[in-house]
């Protein structure tokens, strides 16, 4: 008997929820729970289906990926056959409103998903909830969000999950406001923590980006690290004087470097052109999780472009937190209707919001010991779900 994790897509490094689910599956298999993954709406599969074994941390995971361009009912029918083939007794849904449909509204899910897991117990991990909760949301966004919320409420009613989870205090409050009880669980990132740093290769990458290093190499730099997605909320130019102040107090010079996909954004290119001569703004580009971890181990501070209220769902933020690096969360707007300042009590101690004394706080900030969160998450899921997979 086993557990099946149901997600949208499962293309490695191209789907954050898929990558997260693969790490979770590997950890559960190591704990003796046979786990498979069903990708019910995979945009990277052109046609037919893709049945294969994917690996994570040396563990092989049985997976089925179904193309998003196939009728929903057909995907669900094939998904049920996969569930029967692997002998699953419990379905854990890795949920976000756009996982199963690019419009974010899957009315067929109300009928098809409960039917697909009929006879199984289920649970839901809400990676995201619904849109339209920002105070600045327009009428159309609020209408879409209302539809998403109603569908989620009806889906939860029909699935009757034994437990719902959230990684973000804001989402937990949103769900609770509509009688969907959820438990907070740790949010592990998709970058396993390594013991090594980037001293063997990062100086060369910075030099290629135009940063002149002195005899002390990286030690002369106050290195601000970025990776992941770049959201519109981030106003980098307003932060540069802060970084400059902190760097000068430390007897260093500031350099901003990103590793990943940010370099392709027009905002980054514009910032690089204007501020690159003074702040570096080096684009390292996409890389492996090994190198990303080494990069995080080498920066003085991480910077998140995810807003404060949604930081708890950010894979980038989770990676910074797990590596113990101080992480600045500079974006606080737009406000969410369900946001409460008291939620900050649930935020990790190495998170820093933008306050009037931020320069002094960053000067005093120290790196914490690395603390991978996947073991804590897997322990929680094992304790909760093992009774249902026997």
CA dist 131 and 81 (Å) reads 33
pLDDT score, position 103: 65
pLDDT tens digit string along 347-387? 999 999 999 999 999 999 999 999 999 999 999 999 999 99
The string of pLDDT tens digits covering residues 305-354 is 999 999 999 999 999 999 999 999 999 877 898 999 999 998 999 999 99
- Quick check: 313 and 187 in contact, CB under 8 A? yes
Summarize pLDDT for 236-266 with one digit per residue, the tens: 999 999 999 999 999 999 999 999 888 888 9
CA gyration radius, the chain: 22
Q: Count the Cβ atoms, other than its own, within 10 Å of residue 137.
A: 17
Residue 105 has a pLDDT of: 67
Per-residue pLDDT tens over the stretch 77-125: 999 999 999 999 999 999 998 887 756 666 777 788 999 999 999 999 9
Return the CATH number of 202-364, one of 3.40.50.2000, 3.30.360.10, 3.40.640.10, 3.30.300.30: 3.40.50.2000
Helix 289-296 to helix 315-323 angle, to the nearest 10 degrees? 60
3-state SS assignment for residue 88: strand
- List, in sequence order, every residue forming a beta bridge with 61; answer none if it has no partner: 54
Q: What CATH class is the domain 2-188+374-389?
A: alpha beta
The answer to whether 120 and 160 are in contact (CB under 8 A) is no
CB 4 within 8 A of CB 35: yes
Global pTM? Answer: 0.93
pLDDT attached to residue 102:
58
Instruction: Give residue 47's pLDDT.
Output: 87
Residue 302, exposed/middle/buried by CB under 10 A (0-12, 13-18, 19+)?
A: buried
Specify the range with the lowest mean pLDDT, choosing from 28-37, 56-65, 273-282.
Answer: 273-282
Domain residue limits, the chain: 2-188+374-389, 202-364
Are 117 and 82 within 8 A, CB to CB?
no
DSSP code at position 366: -
**Does 233 or 91 have the greater pLDDT score?**
91
**Percent of the chain residues topping a pLDDT of 70:** 98
> Residue 180 and residue 371: Cα distance in Å, rounded?
30
> Is the CB of residue 313 less than 8 Å from the CB of residue 283?
no
- Please check whether the two domains, 2-188+374-389 and 202-364, share a CATH topology: yes
Cis peptide before 243 (omega within 30 of 0): no
d(CA 382, CA 368): 28
pLDDT exceeds 70 at position 270: yes
Which residue in 13, 3, 58, 20 sits closest to 318, CA to CA?
A: 20
Residue carrying structure tokens 């709406």 = 41
The tens digit of pLDDT for each residue in 154-207 reads 999 999 999 999 999 999 999 999 999 999 999 999 999 999 999 999 999 999
The pLDDT mean for the chain works out to 93
Q: What is the mean pLDDT of residues 127-139?
A: 91
List CB contacts of 329: < 8 A, sequence separation 6 or more: 304, 306, 307, 308, 311, 317, 351, 352, 353, 354
């Amino acid at each position: 008997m086993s557990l099946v994790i149901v997600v949208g897509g499962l293309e490695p490094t191209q789907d954050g929820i898929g990558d997260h689910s693969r790490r979770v599956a590997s950890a559960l298999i190591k704990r003796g729970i046979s786990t498979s993954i069903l990708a019910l709406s995979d945009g990277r599969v052109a046609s037919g289906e893709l049945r294969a074994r994917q690996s994570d941390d040396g563990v092989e995971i049985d997976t089925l990926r179904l193309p998003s361009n196939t009728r929903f009912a057909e995907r669900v029918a094939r998904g049920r056959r996969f569930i029967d083939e692997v002998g699953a007794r419990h379905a854990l849904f890795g949920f976000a409103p756009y996982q199963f449909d690019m419009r974010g509204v899957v009315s067929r899910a109300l009928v098809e998903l409960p039917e697909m897991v009929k006879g199984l117990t289920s649970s839901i991990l809400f990676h995201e909830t619904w849109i339209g909760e920002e105070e600045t949301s327009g009428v159309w966004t609020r209408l879409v969000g209302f539809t998403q919320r109603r569908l989620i409420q009806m889906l939860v009613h029909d699935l009757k999950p034994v437990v719902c989870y959230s990684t973000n205090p804001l989402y937990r409050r949103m769900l609770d406001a509509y009688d969907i009880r959820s438990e907070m669980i740790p949010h592990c990132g998709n970058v396993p923590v390594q013991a090594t740093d980037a001293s063997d290769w990062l100086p060369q990458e910075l030099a290629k980006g135009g940063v002149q290093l002195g005899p002390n190499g990286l030690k002369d730099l106050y290195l601000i690290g970025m990776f992941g997605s770049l959201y519109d909320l981030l106003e980098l130019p307003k932060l540069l004087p802060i970084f400059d102040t902190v760097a000068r107090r430390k007897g260093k010079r500031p350099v901003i470097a990103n590793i990943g996909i940010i370099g392709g954004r027009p905002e980054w290119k514009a910032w690089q052109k204007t501020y690159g001569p003074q702040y570096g703004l080096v684009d390292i580009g996409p890389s492996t999780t090994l190198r990303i971890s080494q990069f995080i181990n080498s920066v003085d501070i991480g910077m998140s472009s995810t807003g404060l209220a949604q930081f708890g769902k950010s894979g980038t933020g989770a990676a910074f937190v797990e590596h113990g690096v101080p992480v600045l969360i500079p974006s606080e707007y737009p406000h969410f209707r369900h946001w409460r300042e008291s939620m900050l009590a649930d935020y990790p101690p190495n998170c820093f919001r933008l306050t009037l004394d931020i320069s002094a706080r960053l000067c005093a900030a120290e790196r914490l010991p690395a603390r991978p969160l996947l073991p804590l998450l897997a322990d929680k899921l094992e304790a909760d779900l093992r009774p249902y997979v026997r």
